[in-house]
Amino acid sequence: MPKHLDQVRAEPERPVTLFDRDAAILIGLLATVEGELRAGDASPRLVRRLSNDATRYGLLGADGGQDDLAGVLIDMNQRLRVARGEYDGVP
């Protein structure tokens, strides 16, 4: 399997997109992290990092808690599923 840099070098004019398997793994990862947040098992460092990133990109309000962050991950997961073509339209 070609690495990302190899793909860019081979076809510099072609936009590099996610492989379907990339999206599938990211969907699973988001679901796993969302579950860890809901169960209260996510490390404080991970929660802080994700919260900061989600806030910086406007996905989470400054006063958002772990449940709000879990909701952000669910929304991201749904967008990935739509992009992957798992739904006929936006759910």
Vertex 27 angle, CA 10 and 55, to 5°: 95
> Across residues 44-69, what is the average pLDDT?
96
- Report pLDDT digits (tens) over 13-47: 877 677 888 999 999 999 999 999 999 999 999 99
Q: Where does the pLDDT of residue 77 fall: very low under 50, low under 70, confident under 90, or very high at 90 and above?
A: very high
Rg (CA), the chain: 16
The confidence score (pLDDT) of residue 12 equals 76
Q: How confident is the model at residue 91 (pLDDT cuts 50, 70, 90)?
A: low
Query: Which pTM was predicted?
Result: 0.80
* Mean pLDDT of the residues in the chain: 89
The structure tokens listed for 61 are 């309000």
Q: What is residue 2's predicted lDDT score, i.e. its pLDDT?
A: 64
CA distance 30 to 46: 13
